[in-house]
A = this chain, B = another copy of it.
């Protein structure tokens, strides 16, 4: 690892060393295309939507109720409601860092004032505990979320400082809270951990911001304590809180998915700052095992509804896939940290997949309703939740405006607000492009040589990425690295040098090293034709099916594209022919619509002796598929990502095998 001596100040994650150096929100601008649209909706609709809902449901009011001594009567929301206000403040802060208009300053100031008013003289800050008539401070570390809430407070405080270039009021509140935590949970204090990880990456980031070693030391203490069984064993087991096995001994991602991924992010942060290669290797191992065996095609993580947790290896049912939006956000956070630490492009591969198929799926087109869970198969149309109602249930609704547990909207908001920072990094050799979007990037090479370049692309609709050099030192060669996504396996990508030389580039990284001249263009051509994807045979739940992916986008069949009100369970596809591009970003898959089982069968028992002679009538057709991230934007529908293949109807197979007509 090399030192990061020339960091931007507007960085969501600012490791002091690592294989790659992140670029700040002041260095990377997204100027158009898929993500620009999403970010605009986020800035113009989602931030105010979250602000208004939290005022309406009383979560911001909780802080004022503490200040006015009436919290024991007036508290609203679940025990972790404070954190939503902090996550919104973080989102607003990063957004303000890319938007010089100052339109968010008033909201940030008002929310900060409310938060600050609830802080106790000793730094304690939580609206659910510790006041007259409430449970005592830290009396329920398993479920109380006090340290979790501090974590989001601190991340908001860091964001405010970095976006504005100086420590503001929220940063001061965060520092007082962090000092209180160090005093309370340090050696000889409460030697336990929080049931929900989050304080760990937050304290490291505050240490990075302030240079205060004690915050890093406290984060390292929390990482080392995890897995020692300091939390009570409960219905979901200690594995739920990752308190079953020490972080450096664990071999895979497990337990509650968001908790697992926040903890792993904090462990990477501690490992990087302390040079703890063993700890970093442990997280890399867990990530690899979790991605190979416990991750949905969309990048979604966590298959269990019951405990919002990772399932056993290969338990990845598409119907009732949980794939919580927040787990997607957390996975992107973890992959980003591992990318910075190691430079390995597979982390950017997973981030791309998760951004396009989980993070982008959650919000509706208008940015005012959200999927909490992101199932890969929906069996009933359901109803669109009312725009003015809090959804009590996360799991089974279509996109809803707000939830009783509403962690996802603010998590999407803060991710989109900081997204430009995920596009590119630097090292001593040059610049690395990880994610493709229309962008303008202005930064300095190691040693201070200023460079600037523009990215133009139609990605992910198309696969052409053009980088035009706008500024570059006249006499210093440097390397532009471009990620060649893993999904190009078997469908080669090409790189065209500034002199027009084209070459095939394999999944991984493609590099151009030269003395660049303003006007130089480098072109990456990615094959975004639709392709069949087959699952590992150990994923039993999708046996006999294939999916379609086009570039990084996972596609799905949606019942609104079928005639006669038919449901997606009649769809069969024929993988002996190829799916093709259809109009308006759709894909047309060769297949057929089978008849529903006869009514008499339906009235009985769904398991019958194998009938080798049974034949299912089918109607050959092209099946319209749409990007998964756009589903349910045309009203209620049924949907499926994994499509049964025509060959897997057992009775027909057996018939062929027996040579019968």
Binding site for B on A (CB under 8 A): 233-237, 288, 291-293, 295, 297, 304-306, 311-315, 317-320, 377, 379-380, 392-393, 395, 404, 486, 489-491, 531-547, 569, 575-576, 594, 597, 601-611, 616, 642, 644-645, 647-651, 653-654, 657-658
Q: How far is the CA of A312 from the CA of B395 in the complex (A)?
A: 13
The answer to whether A534 and B610 touch (CB under 8 A), given A379-B315, A544-B648, A648-B648, is yes
Contact at A392–B234, with CB atoms within 8 Å? yes
Are B648's CB and A609's CB within 8 A?
no
Q: Are B315 and A534 in contact (CB under 8 A)?
A: no
CA distance A122 to B414 in the complex (A): 59
Asked if B544 contacts A650 (CB within 8 A), the reply is yes
For A603, what are the chain B residues with a Cβ–Cβ distance below 8 Å?
288, 292
**Contact at A606–B314, with CB atoms within 8 Å?**
yes
Copy total for this chain: 2
Closest to A604 in B: B292
With A306-B395, A609-B531 known to touch, is A601 a contact of B536 (CB < 8 Å)? yes
CA distance A532 to B650 in the complex (A): 11
Q: How far is the CB of A353 from chain B (nearest CB, A)?
A: 9
| A532 to B393 alpha-carbon distance, docked (Å) | 40
Known: A235-B393, A295-B606. 13 other contacts (CB 8 A): A311-B320, A314-B379, A314-B569, A314-B606, A317-B319, A377-B540, A532-B610, A533-B608, A534-B607, A538-B569, A538-B606, A547-B607, A645-B653
Contacting residue for A650 out of B234, B293, B546, CB 8 A: B546
Q: Which of these, B602, B609, B642, B650, contacts A491 with CB under 8 Å?
A: B609
A527 vs chain B, min Cβ distance (A): 11
Q: Which residues of B contact A543 (CB under 8 A)?
A: 543-545, 644, 648
Would you give the shortest CB distance from A129 to chain B, in whole angstroms? Answer: 22
Q: Can you pick out 8 interface pairs between chain A and chain B where the beta carbons lie within 8 Å of each other?
A: A236-B393, A304-B305, A315-B319, A491-B609, A532-B610, A534-B610, A575-B650, A576-B654
Known contacts A392-B233, A392-B234, A544-B648; A297/B607 CB under 8 A: yes
Q: What are the residues of chain B within 8 A of A645 when measuring CB–CB?
A: 650, 653
- What's the Cα separation between A597 and B491 when bound, in Å? 23
In the assembled complex, the CB of A597 is this many whole angstroms from the nearest CB of chain B, namely 6
Complex Cα spacing A490 to B291, Å: 46
The distance from the CB of A526 to the nearest CB of chain B, in whole angstroms, is: 14
Q: How far is the CA of A304 from the CA of B543 in the complex (A)?
A: 21
Inter-chain contact B320/A644, CB cutoff 8 Å: no
Chain B's nearest CB lies how many Å from the CB of A454?
32
In the complex the two chains form, is A392's CB within 8 Å of B319's CB?
Answer: no
Residues of B within 8 A of A539 (CB): 606
Closest to A650 in B: B534
Give A463 to B638 CA distance when docked, in angstroms.
Answer: 45
* B-chain residues with CB within 8 Å of residue A304 when the two chains form the complex: 305-306, 320
The interface centre, meaning the residue of A304, A379, A547, A607 with most chain B CB atoms within 10 A of its CB, is A607
A637 to B304, CA, bound (A): 22
**Chain B nearest CB: distance from A648 CB in Å?**
5
Query: In the assembly, what is the distance between CA of A318 and CA of B311, in Å?
Result: 14
In the complex, chain B residues whose CB is within 8 Å of the CB of A547: 607
**Minimum C-beta distance from A95 to chain B (A):** 32
Q: Collect the chain B residues with CB atoms within 8 Å of residue A491's CB.
A: 609
- How near does chain B come to A68, taking the closest CB pair, in angstroms? 29
A575 is contacted by which of B295, B534, B538, B610 (Cβ under 8 Å)?
Answer: B610
Check A544–B544 contact: CB distance below 8 A.
Answer: yes
Distance (whole angstroms) from the CB of A232 to the closest CB of chain B = 10
| Chain B: minimal CB distance from A641 (Å) | 11
> Contact: B540 with A608, CB < 8 Å?
no
Chain B residues near A542 (CB-CB < 8 A): 540
Contacts of A538 in B (CB 8 A): 569, 597, 606
CA distance A610 to B643 in the complex (A): 13
A45 to B395 Cα, complex, angstroms = 42
- Central interface residue in A236, A288, A537, A575, by most chain B CB within 10 Å: A537
Contact residues in B for A608 (Cβ distance below 8 Å): 489, 533-534, 536
Residue of B293, B489, B611, B616 near A534 (CB, 8 A) is B611
Contacts of A540 in B (CB 8 A): 318-319, 377, 541-542, 545, 569, 642, 644
Identity of the chain B residue whose Cβ is nearest the Cβ of A486 in the assembled complex:
B605
| A533/B575 contact (C-beta < 8 A), A379-B315, A569-B538 known | no
Are the C-beta atoms of A605 and B379 separated by less than 8 Å?
Answer: no
Tell me, in angstroms, the Cα distance from A377 to B541 when the chains sit together. 11
**Is the Cβ of A610 less than 8 Å from the Cβ of B305?**
no
